[in-house]
Amino acid sequence: MSGGLEARLRLTRGTLDLDVDLRAEPGQVIGVLGPNGGGKTSSVLALAGVLSVESGHVRVGAESWEDKGRRLPPEARHVGLMLADPLLFPHLRAVDNVAYGPRSRGVARGTARERALAELDRVGLAAQAHAKPRELSSGQAARVALARALATDPALLLLDEPLAALDPDTRARTRSELGARLAAYGGVTILVTHDPLDALTLADHLVFIENGTVSQSGSPHDVLREPRSAYVGTVVGLNLYAGQGDSHGHVTVDGNGLLVTTDPTEGPVWAAFAPSAVSLHRHQPEGSPRNTWRLRISDVTMQGQSARVGLTGAIDLTAEVTLESIAALGLHVGQDVWAAVKATEVRTYPR
């Protein structure tokens, strides 16, 4: 079975009021991101039928799974589910774990086993078909879980933080293998993740859910180019501010003073600049920078040969500097420094 997804999910869960639209074409991977408690997992559970939609609908292909009080139970929906924890049956070999899905839907034992072997081969685990979960690496266990999710020919594949439990090296390899397998899957995939790299490399379309609603959606290129919420700005690695711009290149940032840009946009705007555009100084810089602030270092995070420095004060921002700069300036948490950004580095666009 294959077909597109059209869903309007409206429900209340605790203090969360969820109102989310999701649409996708067959073969499309939708990356869903957002802060904890924002509604990502509730959306997945509603699609799977675990949570009831109070109003709205869920339609997949020619089937209506939920609409006007009529709903299919979870077991009647053509859904494949993969979580951060593979949840493999410890007493079953990999092939039998994968065959469990088709068997639970009434497929004959021999046919289910053949399908399981084929799915394991597709994720590069033909040689591990007879291994038990304790004999598999974490990355291999994740791929077995993916094979199991796909062995029932789901119309909708729900991946909720599928790589979150993996170490960085294993995660990178498994991400590549997951991408290759998803490219050959003809249904709709909903990928929930906190990792921007997972979303940017695996998804065709991104949806950000904050406080129960969609704050932004679009292609990875569009989102990277013009983030439209503070959370999205953080995810894509930009300093982002809502403000009011004038024709002279001045942006009054909501609650955070003034920014100067050579890219003026009048009216309500977003103003953005990269952390790498921020330079740090012991003393007030002289020369060309038109945006300078005396700020306090709130945190320092190492990333390879560079460091991201969080700063607070008249404006909160993140700087990205080399480790040599950290050492040369003697930077540490709690220290006051000067931050500078050239006006040419500040980009604005309408809100």
pLDDT single digits (tens) 145-180: 999 999 999 999 999 988 888 888 888 888 998 899
The pLDDT, as a whole number, for residue 264 is 92
The radius of gyration of the chain's CA atoms, rounded to the nearest angstrom, is 24
| Chosen CATH of 5-230 out of 3.40.605.10, 3.40.30.10, 3.40.50.300, 3.10.180.10 | 3.40.50.300
Q: Report yes or no: 235 and 279 within 8 Å, Cβ to Cβ.
A: no
Tell me how far apart the alpha carbons of residues 268 and 48 are, in angstroms, rounded to a whole number. Answer: 39
Look at residues 99, 56, 104 and name the one whose alpha carbon lies nearest to residue 76: 104
CATH number among 2.40.50.180, 3.40.50.620, 2.40.50.1020, 2.40.50.100, domain 237-350: 2.40.50.100
- Residue found under tokens 């009080």: 69
Pairing, β 267-273 against β 258-260: unpaired
What is the pairing mode between strands 336-341 and 188-192? unpaired
Q: Do domains 5-230 and 237-350 have the same CATH topology?
A: no
pLDDT value at 1 more than 60: no
Q: Report the Cα 119 to chain-centroid distance in Å.
A: 26
Give residue 2's pLDDT: 63
- Whether the per-residue pLDDT at 271 is higher than 90: the answer is yes
User: What is the pLDDT confidence band of residue 302, given thresholds at 50, 70 and 90?
Assistant: confident
What is the C-alpha separation between 264 and 92, in angstroms, rounded? 63
Predicted confidence band at 288 (pLDDT cuts at 50, 70, 90)?
low
pTM of the model: 0.86
Half-sphere exposure of 39 (CA within 13 A, CB side): 24
The two structure tokens encoding residue 197: 């790299």
Q: Where are the domains of the chain?
A: 5-230, 237-350
Contact 307, 323 (CB under 8 A): yes
Output the six-digit token pair for 94: 């990999």
